[in-house]
Amino acid sequence: MEKNATTERPEQIDPKTSDNRVVIFDTTLRDGEQSPGASMNLSEKIVIAQALRDLRVDVIEAGFPIASPGDFEAVRAIARQVQGPTIAGLARCQKQDIDRAWDALQDATHKRIHVFLATSAIHREYKLNMAKEEIVRRAVEGVTMARAYCDDVEFSAEDAARTEPDFLAEVVERVIEAGATTVNIPDTVGYAMPNQFSDLIHHLKSHVRDIDKAIISVHCHNDLGMAVANSLAAVKAGARQIECTINGIGERAGNCSLEEAVMAMRTRRDYFDLETNINTRAIFPTSKLVSNITGLHVQRNKAIVGQNAFAHEAGIHQHGVLKHQETYEIMKPEDVGIKSNQLVLGKHSGRHAFRNWVEEHGYTLSDEEFQRAFEAFKVLADKKKDIYDADIEALIEGGLNRQDTPWQIVSIQTNAGTNAIPTATIALLHAGENRRVEEAACGDGPVDALYKAIERVVGFRVRLKDYQLRSITRGKDAQGEISIAVEIDNRTYRGRSVSTDIMEASAKAFLNVINGYINQRERSLANAAAGAEQLVGARP
Ligand SMILES: CC(=O)SCCNC(=O)CCNC(=O)[C@H](O)C(C)(C)COP(=O)(O)OP(=O)(O)OC[C@H]1O[C@@H](n2cnc3c(N)ncnc32)[C@H](O)[C@@H]1OP(=O)(O)O
Ligand SMILES: CC(C)C(=O)C(=O)O
């Protein structure tokens, strides 16, 4: 499944020659992935990178290639497959990191090596054990090594917001001299206040020789809820790149939220007089995709993409909006990809209306995906009186991660109640072998009983690490979303499912994990067998 690429990517504008263009550097796949619990696999990262391309971000930071073979592979695959934006790879100021980043970026059309080194006193003394002179030397060395490979090099002075401004200016001047084309000023621990951060950018602009030879970037964390405010204060002061993530995910309290920064600059163009290249209509679908894949839910009242962001409950507001939308709406929901006029879909709707909905919401489904989504929609419409957009989105997005085989549900029965021993009976079909197996079990609750019965059918045990139930739509017949994390062979697998019946959703989420594990194990065995065959073939 791929989101529509809505419009052509316009010629890249160089912010050094256009005073009011702000570069959007997305780090959902790198800093965003540093959110505890947000790890993504290779195919999920590629799907997100494609969505970021369609959103028209300027730079995708695809990962930190030295961090792990998986990170390296993800950066390499995105560099190969996602054309348009610049692809960046992160590296410490050391040769092996820079070499690894360069290897991973080889196939990208536009590539950037992003080197970083902390500059603040606390990081120098306690973390790096380096004096100021060594910091300058290592930073210059890092940029020089990266420039030997690549024309586009970014240097980040980690913890810049807590660095002595004059020392920061010295580092920035020296890395520009060494060839850095972007200099990033991170508020790594979310400590800055907007006026102070703005003063810091002014300080660099007035104290760094040749500051105009590089783009000033900012990378703000949200520990005090200031990430967006600080980023906006910085662009007002002359920074021309914002590093941000979808839904503001990232290390600890997260990063500057892309959708908030972009929509603030767009909605208050009168104040900022700045532009980005973002296709704002792709914001909402991208937000949904990221939340679906990472399992990090967006709070209802989150600006721009929260479920309530464009909802009016109060009578006085509703009255105002009915008379004139702008009385209580400063942005149009359509501008961020949220439909304002809902086409009401229900059990009597046919394929045309459903296809219309799918296309209007920015999805491109293959014939098979469409048919599966339509059938699932009909089943849901039979069970549920009111179908909301969120119901259908859940149903389509759910298809993205679905591991349908080999084990499929034939029937589920659970029994629980006060003073009753919870029991579950399940019948599963092994699709490949056309084998039907039934098992029953007791447990500490109906879900525990259900999971034990499933373990008996598939023949192995797993450890449930996390189980979350959330209502994702409204009404008595709301759909429940189950998100689980399960440990098998020392690895964590995640599963998710949505249904009006939470026992069914629980079983499907569990089978999602079991099937994912079985499929992956089979792929590894097949790869190992192919490798062994090659070795045998290669023998003299
Ligand atoms: C602010 C940020 O978000 S920066 C990015 C943070 N992201 C991550 O750390 C996620 C990925 N990280 C990892 O997978 C690992 O930390 C690795 C692979 C990078 C390094 O792992 P290890 O070699 O085991 O080192 P570890 O993480 O324990 O310690 C970091 C080392 O890097 C050094 N270091 C930290 N930053 C830098 C830098 N910018 N340049 C050079 N060296 C650095 C530290 O001094 C320490 O060195 P030491 O081993 O000589 O004491
Ligand atoms: C590597 C840098 C940009 C970073 O993530 C930070 O300082 O938070």
Residue 232 alpha carbon to ligand 1 centre in Å:
29
DSSP string covering 47-74: HHHHHHHHHT-SEEEEE-GGG-HHHHHH
Give Cα 87 distance to the centre of its chain: 16
**Closest ligand 1 atom number to CA of residue 158:** 1
Number of neighbouring beta carbons within 10 Å of residue 302 = 18
Q: Contact at 8 Å (CB) between 463 and 486?
A: yes
**If you take atom 6 of ligand 2, which residue's CA is the nearest one?**
188
**If you take atom 5 of ligand 2, which residue's CA is the nearest one?**
31
Token pair 């030397």: residue? 137
| 262 closest CA partner among 62, 112, 56, 90 | 56
Specify the CATH superfamily of domain 19-294: Aldolase class I (3.20.20.70)
**Closest ligand 2 atom number to CA of residue 251:** 8
Q: Which residue out of 116, 197, 231, 252 has the highest number of ligand 2 atoms within 8 Å of its CB and is therefore the one to mutate?
A: 116
Angstrom distances, CA of residue 343 to CA of 284, 323, 339: 18, 22, 9
Q: Which residue out of 64, 115, 138 has the highest number of ligand 1 atoms within 8 Å of its CB and is therefore the one to mutate?
A: 64
Q: Is the CB of 67 under 6 A from ligand 1?
A: yes
pLDDT of residue 397: 67
Q: Is the ipTM of this complex over 0.90?
A: yes
**If you take atom 24 of ligand 1, which residue's CA is the nearest one?**
67
**60 forms bridges with which residues in the sheet?**
26, 87
pLDDT of residue 18: 63
Q: Contact at 8 Å (CB) between 239 and 205?
A: no
Token pair 């992160």: residue? 90
Residue 223 CA to residue 188 CA, distance in Å, equals: 9
Q: Which residue out of 26, 94, 184, 245 has the highest number of ligand 2 atoms within 8 Å of its CB and is therefore the one to mutate?
A: 184
Q: Output the CA torsion sign for 117, 119, 122, 128.
A: positive
407-526 fold: Double Stranded RNA Binding Domain (3.30.160)
**If you take atom 8 of ligand 2, which residue's CA is the nearest one?**
188
**What is the edge-to-edge ordering of all strands in the sheet holding 491-499?**
463-471, 480-488, 491-499
**If you take atom 48 of ligand 1, which residue's CA is the nearest one?**
128
Residue 341 CA to residue 538 CA, distance in Å, equals: 64
Q: Is the N-terminal amide bond of 69 cis, ω within 30° of 0?
A: no
244 alpha carbon, closest ligand: 2
Token pair 């006060």: residue? 418
126 alpha carbon, closest ligand: 1
**Closest ligand 1 atom number to CA of residue 116:** 39
Residue 30 alpha carbon to ligand 2 centre in Å:
10
Q: Is the CB of 117 under 6 A from ligand 1?
A: yes
The encoded tokens of residue 523 equal 């792929």
**If you take atom 25 of ligand 1, which residue's CA is the nearest one?**
67
- Residues touching ligand 2 (Cβ under 6 Å) are 31, 116, 156, 158, 184, 186, 188, 219, 221
Residue 200 CA to residue 337 CA, distance in Å, equals: 35
Q: Which residue out of 96, 128, 220, 222 has the highest number of ligand 1 atoms within 8 Å of its CB and is therefore the one to mutate?
A: 128
Q: How far apart are the first and last CA of the chain?
A: 45
Number of neighbouring beta carbons within 10 Å of residue 425 = 16
Q: Is the CB of 130 under 6 A from ligand 1?
A: no
Q: Is 317 annotated as a binding residue?
A: no
Phi/psi region, residue 225 (left: phi>0; alpha: psi -120 to 50; beta: rest), is left
Q: What is the pTM of this model?
A: 0.73
SS3 of 184, please? Answer: strand
Residue 60 CA to residue 353 CA, distance in Å, equals: 35
120 alpha carbon, closest ligand: 2
Residue 511 alpha carbon to ligand 2 centre in Å:
38
Residue 86 alpha carbon to ligand 2 centre in Å:
18
Q: Is 203 annotated as a binding residue?
A: no
Domains 19-294 and 407-526 share a fold: no
For the chain, the domains span 19-294, 339-397, 407-526
**pLDDT averaged over 10-residue windows placed end to end, the chain, 540 residues:** 40 60 98 88 93 98 97 98 97 98 98 98 98 98 98 98 98 98 98 98 98 97 98 98 98 97 98 97 94 87 89 68 81 87 66 79 76 88 73 70 79 91 95 92 95 96 90 71 84 79 92 86 76 53
Q: Is 152 annotated as a binding residue?
A: no
Angstrom distances, CA of residue 537 to CA of 156, 259, 324, 527: 49, 54, 75, 15
Residues 444-478 as b/e (b if ≥16 CB within 10 A, e otherwise) read: eebbbbbbbbbbbbbeeebeeeebeeeebbeeeeb
The encoded tokens of residue 449 equal 């009983």
Residue 255 alpha carbon to ligand 2 centre in Å:
10
**Closest ligand 2 atom number to CA of residue 219:** 3
Residue 341 alpha carbon to ligand 1 centre in Å:
50
Residue 491 alpha carbon to ligand 1 centre in Å:
23
